[in-house]
Amino acid sequence: MLFEHMGSQPKIDPTAVIAPSAVISGDVTIGPECQVLHGAVITAEGGPIVIGSSVIVMENALIRASAVHPVHIGDHTLVGPMVSIAGAVIAPEVYLATGVRVFNGARIDSGCEVRINAVVHLRTHLPERTVVPIGWVAVGDPLQVLPATEREQIWLARQDLDFPGYVFGLDRDTPDLMVQLTERYGRGLARHADDRQID
C-alpha cells in the first residue's frame, strides 16, 4: 500500500518489486531492482528516505525517518526480517540480520555486518567492514562493541549519547519526561490522520 503523507508521495522505480502488504508512506524513494517483502513498513515522517538499487527489505522490517533524521540506505544492502532502522545512514553492501535495531544518527559504513538481534545505538559510527556479533551492542563514536552482559559499560556510553535530548529534544531530568515525550511524539504521529492512500 502506498500513502501520500504531508503532501509527499513515494517514488518507486518500475523494476522494484513491492509486496501488496508492505506499507510505503511519504517522501520515500526506492531504486531499481529493490525487493520490499510482506509486512515491511517504510515511513517518511517529515524527512526523506532514499533506498538505493538492489536493496532487499525483508518481512516486517521497519524503516522510519523524521524531519531531523532522514534515512539513506546504499546499494546492495540486505535489511533482514524484523529489522528496525530509525533516522540512520547506511552505506552500500551492508548486512543487517534478523531483529537488528539501528537508532537515530547512526552511520554504518560499507561492508559492515550487524548480526542477529544486535543493536547499533544512537549516534554510533561503524567503520568499514565492522562486524557486530549476535546480540551485541555497538555504541558511540569512537566505537565500542560490547556484549549485552556489559550493562554498566553500555549504560555509561549511552548517557553521553543523550537519547531523549537527541531524538525528542527533551532533558532526561525533566520530572514528567514520559508525559512530555508521548504528547510531543503523539502530535507528530497524528499527522498521519491526513494520509491518503494512492494505490
Please report, rounded to a whole number, the percentage of residues in the chain having pLDDT higher than 90: 79
What is the distance between the alpha carbons of residues 145 and 34, in angstroms, rounded to a whole number? 30
Are 30 and 13 in contact, with CB atoms under 8 Å apart?
Answer: yes
Would you say residue 99 has pLDDT above 90?
A: yes
Which pLDDT score, from 0 to 100, does residue 163 have?
83
What is the distance between the alpha carbons of residues 29 and 44, in angstroms, rounded to a whole number? 10
Which pLDDT score, from 0 to 100, does residue 162 have?
84
Q: Containing domain of residue 88, as a range? A: 2-197
- Short-list 116, 112, 118, 121, CA closest to 94: 112
What is the distance between the alpha carbons of residues 55 and 90, in angstroms, rounded to a whole number? 11
Write the CATH number for 95.
2.160.10.10
Would you say residue 172 has pLDDT above 90?
A: no
Q: What is the pLDDT of residues 20-64, one digit of tens each?
A: 999 999 999 999 999 999 999 999 998 999 999 999 999 999 999
pTM of the model: 0.94
- Please give the tally of structural domains in the chain: 1
